[in-house]
Every structure is written in C-alpha cells, then in structure tokens.
C-alpha cells in the first residue's frame, strides 16, 4: 500500500513508518485531500476510525492525524493508514 501511495504522489506523500497492519503517511495540508481520496477510492479504506491532534506550541503548529480503515474489504479489516498533516496554530 505504501508503494502505491508513493508511486502516485511522489514526494507529496512521505512514509513516516510501516509497521504490522499500520502505515503512517505525512503530507502537506495542500495535498491531503488528493491523497485521502486516493486512499479511499483506490486502496478501499472507506472510513475514518478516529481523528487526533497534537499541539506543537514552539513551532506554532497543530498536527492532525486521520486513522483510516476499511469496512468493505475484509482483507483490510485490521489495517490502519494514519494520514497526517500540520497546520498553523492560529
């Protein structure tokens, strides 16, 4: 899955880590929608399991992390893609 994301988006999608049943993808806020649509439409991760945020007061940013899963594909049932971006705090 990580290879498909990087193949499609190149440097716009940075793979932070790959672990058993979990991948984390970092991107810029300008690219998150395109990557999210690809993950939904092509990789079949059809829902957000959770959304979290991390506040970085020193750099005045908030990181938003979407944990994406699949209800429709049984083979993806225990896999999660974490899609993350940073936005200005103000």
Q: Where are the domains of the chain?
A: 2-88
| The CATH number fitting domain 2-88, selected from 3.40.50.300, 3.40.50.720, 3.30.460.80, 3.40.30.10 | 3.30.460.80
For 13, phi then psi, to 5°, come to: -120, 115
Q: How many CA atoms lie within 13 A of 88 on its CB side?
A: 2
Distance separating alpha carbons of residues 46 and 34, to the nearest angstrom: 14
pTM of the model: 0.93
CB of 65 closer than 8 Å to CB of 87: no
pLDDT band at 59 (very low <50, low <70, confident <90, very high): very high
Per-residue pLDDT of 5-54, as tens digits, reads: 999 999 999 999 999 999 999 999 999 999 999 999 999 999 999 999 99
């Amino acid at each position: 899955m990580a290879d498909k994301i990087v193949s499609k988006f190149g440097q716009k999608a940075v793979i932070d880590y790959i672990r058993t049943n979990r991948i984390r993808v970092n991107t810029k806020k300008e690219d998150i929608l395109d990557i999210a649509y690809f993950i939904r439409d092509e990789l079949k991760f059809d829902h957000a399991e959770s959304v979290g945020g991390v506040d970085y007061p020193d750099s005045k940013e908030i990181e938003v992390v979407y944990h994406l899963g699949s209800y429709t594909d049984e083979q993806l049932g225990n896999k999660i893609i974490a899609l993350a971006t940073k936005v200005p705090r103000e």
